[in-house]
Amino acid sequence: MNQFCHSFEHSYTLPSISDLYPEGDYAIIKRIPKTLIDSRFFQWLSSHNIAVSDLVVAWKPPQTQGLRNTKYGTIHSDGPNVAKINFVLGGELSQMIWFDQPKFVFRVATAINTPYRQAADSTLKEVYRASIKAALINAEAFHWIENTVSDRFAIQTTLVDAVTEQNLCFAQAYTRLFG
């Protein structure tokens, strides 16, 4: 196991892009109802004493390679103790990139008011990268999506303990689901 992501195979039925955006107007990030996701996914999580506290879809259009801070994404952390399972639709050749801890950080809120920590320095050292379709990810570590070919839609589930409702860190979620 690396400390950033763990890809896995699944047989869950995922919603189509038209199900995620019935109005046809792509939002950079928006919450989606749990009813759009295969109930077997939530049953699998529940069997490991895990629940989902937030369920969103994030859209990222193709961009120039190496362009790291734009309105469609910045190098950021989703906060302390944040593990997510992401399902990616589209985004051929896209990669999720993790970086070392920045020296300077400031807090920002997304369009749906989720608190992020953003890196003030865009010259951070890359420490890991992966192409993912279904993966447990470390969203606490500073990361960014490089997407150069086609629209990328990531269904993101924030994982919490099913009893305490406290966020799970990547290592805790990995141990429960795959360890």
- Give pLDDT tens digits for 65-91: 655 556 556 788 998 899 999 999 999
Q: What is the mean pLDDT of residues 114-142?
A: 88
pLDDT bucket at 143, cuts 50 / 70 / 90: very high
Domain definitions of the chain by residue range: 5-178
- pLDDT surpassing 60 at residue 149: yes
- For residue 121, CA distances in Å to 72, 99, 104 come to 17, 11, 7
- The matching CATH number, chosen from 1.20.950, 1.10.287, 3.40.190, 2.60.120, for 5-178 is 2.60.120
Residue 144: phi, psi to the nearest 5? -160, 155
Amino acid (one-letter) located at 115? P
Under the banding of pLDDT at 50, 70 and 90, the label for residue 116 is: confident
Question: Can you tell me the distance from the alpha carbon of 172 to that of 161, in angstroms, rounded to the nearest whole number?
Answer: 10
Amino acid 111: pLDDT? 73
Cα dist from 86 to 31, 45, 57, 102, 120, whole Å: 14, 13, 9, 24, 25
Contact 122, 73 (CB under 8 A): no
Residue type, 53: S
**What does the alpha-carbon distance between residue 103 and residue 137 come to, in Å, rounded to a whole number?**
23
pLDDT band at 45 (very low <50, low <70, confident <90, very high): very high
31 vs 163: CA distance, rounded Å: 23
Q: State residue 53's pLDDT score.
A: 96
Tell me the average pLDDT of the chain.
90
Asked if residue 177 has pLDDT above 60, the reply is: yes
Q: Give the pairing type, strands 134-138 and 83-90.
A: antiparallel
Average pLDDT over residues 126-149: 94
Cα distances (angstroms) measured from residue 22 to each of 16, 88, 94, 144, 154 = 10, 18, 24, 27, 16
